[in-house]
Structure 1
Amino acid sequence: MDFEQLISNITPDIHTALKRAIEIGKWPDGQRLTQEQRELCMEAVINYEQRFVAETDRVGYIDRGSKAEGELCDDKPDPGDNPNQERPLKWSE
C-alpha cells in the first residue's frame, strides 16, 4: 500500500485518534510515540485534512478575516517613520 492509498483509507475516527496521539504524545494503549511516529502522524493528519476537511476546520487554521471597526492591532507606521526604528507598544481598552 502506498502513501496515497493509506491517506485515502483513514477514517474520521482514525484521524481523531492520530490527532489525539500527537497532542498527548501517547497511543491509546499508553505507549509513548517515538519522534518518527509523531512526524508520520503529523504528515498523515495534514494530508488527510488537505483532502477531506474544510480549510476553516483544519488544525492550526487562523482566521485572517477583516477586523471589526475600531480595532487597533497591527497599526500601520506613519509614512515618514523608519521601519527599523523601535516603536512603543500602545495599549488600549
Structure 2
Amino acid sequence: MIVANNNGLILIRRNHLEERNWRDDTSYKFIFSFFGKSVYQTHYEDLTIHAGEFFFFNPNEPHKQLKVTQEKFLIEIEPEVVKEAAIQ
C-alpha cells in the first residue's frame, strides 16, 4: 500500500524485501520494522533494527536495503514540511 501526497508518502510493503540498489533520496525517511530484523547499508556502517524498532535517514543520505523480514513501514517527509513545523 502506498499513500502519497505533495509533502511525502507512507508505504507498507510485503514484497521486494530483498537486497535493493543504492538510494539517495531528497526526503527524510522513517523506517519501522513490524516483525523482525531489517538490515540497511550506509557508507559508514551497516544498520540493523529488530521488531518494534526504527531508524531515520536524513535527506540525501546514501543507503541500501539489504534485508527486511516479512514487511516494512516507511514514511517519507519532504524537508520543507519539517522546516515549516520547526518554525511554528
TM-score (norm 1): 0.21
RCO higher in 1 or 2 (8 Å CA, sep ≥ 6)? Answer: 2
TM-score (norm 2): 0.21
Q: Is the strand fraction higher in 1 or 2? A: 2
Considering only CA atoms, is the larger Rg found in Structure 1 or Structure 2?
A: 1
